[in-house]
């Protein structure tokens, strides 16, 4: 690939003709060991090495936006994820292991293996099941031969050898509570984040178990096994946002991602474009309201502007500084969703919002108007966490910055 190829890919990406621009000479599959949540436990060069997000709770509990109940619920909201998803981490990723409950070949019910005669019908039913298990949208992607978006290693540094039979990944989106998100970076927002991760673990666990009961292999995962955002993009569920997260055409960024890798034959979806990348080039709202300045406010780049192992060069995108983001979470004594909160795509459903999305998709020339209006209407402003707890009509309370 020469510089002309890069230029062509850049153009196609920003104009929404391709879902992402990948320079295959530079890009290589990423190791989960380099994800910030792994590095915090092994990388002594990381500024927050060995530090827990919860370490300042005693000091913060009585401050505005924090509370005893808030911390209790925030921690509890992760309970299902932390029990179930840790189990997922133990999966073997070779051909099969009957000894391992998460990878098996045989239908467990005694019924014969399910024969997928009509793959489209099977896919429709799997998607419907995903909704029943808690997803607001479901898509299917195929794993490419080079496994670009499958992790090369797991958190413990062990090589991931995904069976070549596991050609498909079912991607499920789990919606977060928009009104709780509005209190970010304070505790109610963290509760909906943990809750969504727990529901993601539940949904992927149930989906994988269903597929195993049909006699096929299935590996459930939330953040493990592969890069959720590009897999969701491939599965036709949205576009890359400036802040590195998925933008869904209806739910914006108020979503978390669950995945199931499987050999059950399915019909893959195609990536979609609805003008989000183009909108991000002008908007920059997440970069402006990021308290740790971890989001780039320039054009996308091929290399990370920050020297951190948590970024993987060779993709033309907006890189995010996960090191400073995580450091803010520690100082804030809980996680942060400011970039999700302020994103103009993160809005509750409504006719007016649908109309604006139509214009963003079809008439990008008007994008500046929507960005201005978004500010004028006060969307994405932080709401007081205390009012979230005390008022049934907190939605109408005075907003604060």
Binding footprint of ligand SF4 on the chain (CB under 6 A): 241-243, 279-280, 283-286, 290-292, 294-295, 320, 325, 328, 336, 338-339, 342-345
Which residue, 122 or 278, has its beta carbon nearer to ligand SF4?
278
* Contact of 175 with 257, CB cutoff 8 Å: no
Which residues neighbour 396 within 8 Å (Cβ) at sequence distance 6 or greater?
A: none
Residue 81 or residue 285: which is nearer to ligand SF4 going by CB?
Answer: 285
- The smaller minimum CB distance to ligand SF4, of residues 39 and 127, is found at 39
Q: How far is the CB of 56 from ligand SF4 (least distance, A)?
A: 16
Q: Give dist(CA 334, CA 54) in Å, integer.
A: 7
CB-hemisphere CA count at 13 Å for 45? 5
Q: Which residues are bridge partners to 138 per DSSP?
A: 172
Residue 178 or 202: the one with the smaller Cβ distance to ligand SF4 is: 178
How far apart are alpha carbons 201 and 223 in whole angstroms?
9
Q: Considering the complex, state which of residue 134 and residue 241 has its C-beta at the smaller distance from ligand SF4.
A: 241
Q: DSSP string of 195-249?
A: HHHHHHHHHHHHHHHHHHHTT--EEEESSSSB-HHHHHHHTTS-EE-TTSSEEBT
Specify the residue, 78 or 168, whose C-beta has the smaller distance to ligand SF4.
78
Q: Smallest gap, in angstroms, from Cβ of residue 92 to ligand SF4?
A: 33
Q: How far apart, in Å, are the Cα atoms of 8 and each of 1, 14, 22, 318?
A: 11, 10, 11, 18
Residues 114-123 as b/e (b if ≥16 CB within 10 A, e otherwise) read: eebeeeeebb
Say how many Å lie between the first and final Cα of the chain, rounded: 47
Residue 243 to residue 278: CA distance in whole angstroms: 14
Beta strands in 263-377 (DSSP E): 315-316
**What are phi and psi for residue 216, nearest 5 degrees?**
-115, 170
Shortest Å distance, C-beta 374 to ligand SF4: 9
Closest among 30, 170, 172, 154 to 92, alpha carbons compared: 154
Q: How far is the CB of 40 from ligand SF4 (least distance, A)?
A: 14
Q: In this complex, which beta carbon is closest to ligand SF4, that of residue 207 or of residue 257?
A: 257
| Cβ-based nearer residue to ligand SF4, 110 or 349 | 349
- Least Å distance, CB 287 to ligand SF4, is 7
CB of 368 to ligand SF4, least distance (A): 12
Choose among 343, 298, 367, 292: nearest CA to 322.
Answer: 292
CB of 338 to ligand SF4, least distance (A): 4
CB atoms within 10 A of CB 24: 11
Residues 337 and 60: their CA atoms lie apart, in Å, by 18
Nearest distance in Å: CB 107, ligand SF4: 42
Find the shortest distance in angstroms from Cβ 257 to ligand SF4: 16
Nearest residue (CB) to ligand SF4, 29 versus 291: 291
The CB-of-285 to ligand SF4 minimum distance in angstroms stands at 4
Q: Which of 247, 206, 244 is nearest to 227 (CA)?
A: 244
In this complex, which beta carbon is closest to ligand SF4, that of residue 20 or of residue 345? 345
Q: Which of 109, 105, 85, 87 is nearest to 95 (CA)?
A: 105
Task: CB nearer to ligand SF4: give 261 or 319.
Answer: 319
For the CB of residue 15, give the shortest distance to ligand SF4 in the complex, in Å.
Answer: 16
Please, are residues 52 and 327 in contact by the beta-carbon 8 Å criterion?
Answer: no
């Amino acid at each position: 690939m020469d510089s002309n190829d890069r230029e062509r890919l850049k153009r196609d990406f920003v104009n929404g003709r391709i879902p992402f621009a990948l320079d295959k000479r530079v890009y290589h599959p990423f190791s989960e060991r380099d994800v910030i949540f792994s590095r915090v436990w092994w990388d002594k060069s990381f500024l927050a090495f060995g530090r827990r997000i919860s370490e300042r709770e005693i000091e913060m509990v009585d401050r505005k936006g924090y509370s005893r109940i808030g911390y209790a619920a925030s921690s509890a909201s992760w309970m299902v994820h932390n029990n179930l998803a840790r189990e997922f981490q133990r999966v073997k990723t070779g051909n099969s292991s009957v000894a391992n409950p998460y990878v098996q070949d045989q239908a467990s019910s005694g019924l014969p293996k399910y024969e997928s005669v009509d793959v489209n019908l099977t896919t429709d039913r799997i998607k419907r099941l995903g909704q029943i298990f808690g997803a607001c949208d479901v898509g299917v992607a195929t794993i490419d031969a080079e496994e670009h978006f499958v992790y090369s290693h797991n958190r413990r540094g062990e090589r991931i050898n995904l069976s070549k039979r596991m050609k498909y990944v079912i991607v499920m989106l789990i919606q977060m509570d928009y009104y709780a998100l509005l209190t970010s970076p304070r505790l109610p927002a963290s509760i909906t984040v943990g809750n969504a991760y727990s529901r993601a673990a539940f949904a992927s666990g149930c989906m994988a178990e269903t597929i195993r009961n049909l006699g096929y292999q299935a590996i459930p995962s939330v953040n493990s096994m592969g890069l959720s955002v590009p897999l969701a993009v491939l599965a036709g569920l949205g576009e890359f946002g400036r802040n590195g997260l998925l933008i869904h055409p209806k739910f914006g960024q108020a979503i978390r991602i669950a995945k199931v890798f499987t050999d059950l034959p399915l019909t893959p979806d195609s990536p979609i474009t609805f003008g989000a990348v183009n909108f991000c080039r002008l908007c920059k709202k997440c970069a402006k309201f990021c308290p740790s300045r971890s989001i780039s406010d320039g054009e996308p780049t091929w290399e990370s502007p920050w020297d951190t192992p948590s970024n993987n060069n060779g993709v033309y995108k907006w890189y995010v500084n996960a090191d400073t983001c995580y450091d803010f979470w520690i100082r804030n004594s809980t996680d942060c969703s400011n970039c999700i909160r302020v994103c103009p795509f993160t809005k509750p459903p409504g006719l007016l919002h649908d109309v604006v999305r139509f214009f963003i998709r079809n008439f990008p020339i008007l994008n500046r108007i929507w960005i201005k209006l978004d500010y004028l209407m006060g969307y994405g402003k932080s709401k007081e966490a205390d009012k979230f707890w005390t008022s049934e009509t907190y939605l109408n309370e005075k907003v604060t910055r």
